[in-house]
Amino acid sequence: MEFEFDIHKIFLEPITKLDSTLLPQRRPLVSSSEAEKQIMKVLDDIGKASAKAQRLPAPITSASRMQTNQHHLYILKDCTPKTAGRGLVIGFLKVGYKKLFVLDRKGSHIEAEPLCILDFYIHESLQRHGFGKELFGFMLRIEQVEPQHLAIDRPSEKFLSFLWKHYNLRAVIPQVNNFVIFEGFFRDRKGKRQLCVQSAEWRKGVV
């Protein structure tokens, strides 16, 4: 996606991580007020593009939503010489921890707080070039999470195919909510926030 301002001056890295402050780790080459204005424009536009691609009634990613939630958003820009001018935004990936009730293979209700994939978009003209894998892999390294430990909010068939192709995730554990989890979700977890194992109704724990 192209913008009327220079992407390279607000996002200095190939992949930039944003949180609720909307401030990149590396300080933009424009004033703080201008950077905030431009970043908000980027977030609103890519959120709309993602919603359109997924045929959602309204965007689930925007600057205001980022400012009011503890989510992380990774933006991938095009660094090739042909975009050395104002640059292009290739896509983004939004993640966040959410408290969920999930079912294990035995049908037990488990209270969990996994890292969730909340929105994922690569511009239509730049798909099938490895950008999605690059962005997703970067997020996994930064968040220090294994792909099978993620919960995905309303994944499209295209996204499910992506996870199967690149991470061999195909054995879905059926859920009663909009989230999808895979075989291995409950195994070998590390970190306090990734899974708070506790049976919601019977206090059985996880087998």
- Give me the DSSP letters along 49-110: HHHHHHT-SS-S--HHHHHTS--EEEEEEE-SGGG-SS-EEEEEEEEEE--EEEE-TT--EE
pLDDT-based confidence at residue 194 (cuts at 50, 70, 90) = very low
The tokens for 88 are 């292009």
133 is in an annotated binding site: yes
The residue count of the chain comes to 207
Q: Quick check: 192 pLDDT over 60?
A: no
94 is in an annotated binding site: no
Per-residue pLDDT, 205:
37
132 is in an annotated binding site: yes
Torsion-angle region of residue 168: left (phi > 0), alpha (psi -120 to 50) or beta? left
The domain 7-182 is placed in CATH, from the list 1.10.10.200, 3.40.50.720, 3.40.630.30, 3.40.720.10, at 3.40.630.30
150 is in an annotated binding site: no
Segment 172-201 mean pLDDT = 75
121 is in an annotated binding site: yes
Per-residue pLDDT, 80:
74
Closest CA to 40 of 71, 72, 13, 18: 18
Segment 14-33 mean pLDDT = 96
Task: Count Cβ atoms within 10 A of the Cβ of residue 121 and give its class: 0-12 exposed, 13-18 middle, 19 or more buried.
Answer: buried
Per-residue pLDDT, 79:
79
73 is in an annotated binding site: no
127 is in an annotated binding site: yes
pLDDT-based confidence at residue 55 (cuts at 50, 70, 90) = very high
Other CB atoms within 10 Å distance of the CB of residue 53 = 15
Share of the chain above pLDDT 70, in %: 89
The tokens for 89 are 């935004």
Q: Quick check: 37 pLDDT over 70?
A: yes
Q: What is the pLDDT of residues 39-52, one digit of tens each?
A: 999 999 999 999 99
Q: What is the pLDDT of residues 104-161, one digit of tens each?
A: 988 889 999 999 999 999 999 999 999 999 999 999 999 999 999 999 999 999 999 9
130 is in an annotated binding site: yes
- Indicate the domain borders of the chain: 7-182
199 is in an annotated binding site: no
pLDDT-based confidence at residue 199 (cuts at 50, 70, 90) = very low
**In the predicted model, what is the mean pLDDT of the chain?**
90
32 is in an annotated binding site: no
Per-residue pLDDT, 191:
58
Indicate the pTM of the whole model: 0.89
Q: What is the residue-wise DSSP string for 9-64?
A: GT--SSEEEE-TT---SSPPSS-HHHHHHHHHHHHHHHHHHHHHHHT-SS-S--HH
Residue 34 one-letter amino acid: E
CB 113 within 8 A of CB 99: yes
The tokens for 59 are 């965007």
Buried b (16+ CB within 10 A) or exposed e, 196-206: eeeeeeeeeeb
